[in-house]
Structure formats: C-alpha cells, structure tokens
Amino acid sequence: MTKQFLKQTLTMVAAAFGVVAALAWNSAIQALIQKLFPAENAGVRSAFVYALLITTLTVIVTYVVGQIDARLEEKKK
C-alpha cells in the first residue's frame, strides 16, 4: 500500500466515525427536545427549536475550532 492510499483510507474511516457520532447526537438531541415539548402539536415547534439549537451549537463549535486553529498556526510560525 502506498502512503497516500493509507492516509486517504484513515481519513475516510475517521470521517465515517464522525458521521456515526453526529447521528447519535442527532437522535439524542431530538429525544431531549421531544421530552421538553411533549405536546402532540409541538412537532413544528420542536423542529424549529432543534434547528435553532443545532445552528447555535454549530456556530459556537466552528468559532472555537477556528480560534484553536489560529493559535496553532501562530505557534507554528
């Protein structure tokens, strides 16, 4: 096996585990929102709460990862 092939394979395996983790979190967060908004007519409301929660979390995580990346790049130089 070439070094590039091995690197690509490891990247794909890591990405696959990332997708599995994301799906697990997706299910957990949806279950939590359904528990917080148990009414039968809360379907649309809970979907919007879920979307807002995920969007907010994504923005925060993206910001933090960007900050960490910038610090690592600065230390490299």
Q: pTM value? A: 0.58
Query: pLDDT tens per residue, the chain (77 residues)?
Result: 798 888 899 899 999 999 999 899 889 988 887 788 777 666 777 788 888 988 998 899 999 999 998 998 888 77
| Residues 5-38 as b or e (16 or more Cβ within 10 Å = b) | eeeeeeeeeeeeeeeeeeeeeeeeeeeebeeeee
> How many distinct structural domains can be found in the chain?
1
Structural domain boundaries, residue 18: 3-76
